[in-house]
Amino acid sequence: MNRYVRRGSKGIALLDESGGYPRLHYVFDVSDTALRRNALYPDLWQINESLKEPVRSMLAENYGVHSESFGQQLADVAGKLVQS
């Protein structure tokens, strides 16, 4: 992406077990980075209203999670995945 991490930024530690042994891999939020020459700006994830219902149905079917709000349903799925 040709960006750099700003000094003092705190990384988000992710557990990486792909190499045969567990280790931490750090990632940074785009707001913790700055541009260099010819830098790319990442496409931020967005969902429009027409896609919410199909996604909600898929989450309910695959994870058995139902909620009144879309955001709460996403949070409940994330919590369920963390517990497993």
Work out the pLDDT band at 50, boundaries 50, 70, 90: very high
The pLDDT of residue 18 is 84
Work out the pLDDT band at 68, boundaries 50, 70, 90: confident
The pLDDT of residue 44 is 81
Angle between helix 49-63 and helix 70-83 axes, rounded to 10 deg: 30
Break the chain into its structural domains and give their ranges: 3-35, 49-83
Work out the pLDDT band at 10, boundaries 50, 70, 90: very high
What is the model's pTM?
A: 0.56
Give me the mean pLDDT over the 9-36 stretch.
Answer: 91
